[in-house]
């Protein structure tokens, strides 16, 4: 079984299909997927791969995140019928790549890189 795939749809753009393999932050200014949506916070939400499922977590965004038109207040695993809305952007879980009408070449692997390690801090811990 492969990793779960989500479709991220921004207003006026073709959807982006992402294979969620670890934590991925979404926002206007973050280390993950950058969204061009003025209603989205800099670090708005996180998608994560937990036990074969995609879990969505709001990261304290200003305008909030909706899960099926209800405010998202705790981390929630997505189902194929769930619609996540942040600003004008929507995220849906795709059952599999065939259902999305895409093949493996159209799906991007998505994880947020780990924060860089400051070598001075690592060296000071070694003493």
Give pLDDT tens digits for 6-46: 999 999 999 999 999 999 999 999 999 999 999 999 999 99
Q: What is the pTM of this model?
A: 0.78
Is 112's pLDDT higher than 70? no
User: Vertex 100, ends 99 and 102: CA angle to 5°?
Assistant: 110
Find, among 47, 94, 56, 48, the residue nearest to 76 by Cα.
56
């Amino acid at each position: 079984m492969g990793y779960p795939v989500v479709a991220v749809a921004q207003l006026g753009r073709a959807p982006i299909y992402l294979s969620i393999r670890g934590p991925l932050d979404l926002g206007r200014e973050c280390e993950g997927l950058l969204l061009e949506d003025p209603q989205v916070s800099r670090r708005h939400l996180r998608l994560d791969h937990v036990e074969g499922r995609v879990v969505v977590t709001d990261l304290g965004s200003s305008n909030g995140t909706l899960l099926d038109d209800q405010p998202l207040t705790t981390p929630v695993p997505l189902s194929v019928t769930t619609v996540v809305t942040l600003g004008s952007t929507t995220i849906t879980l795709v059952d599999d790549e065939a259902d999305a009408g895409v093949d493996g070449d159209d799906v991007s692997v998505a994880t947020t890189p780990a924060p860089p390690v400051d070598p001075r801090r690592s060296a000071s811990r070694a003493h």
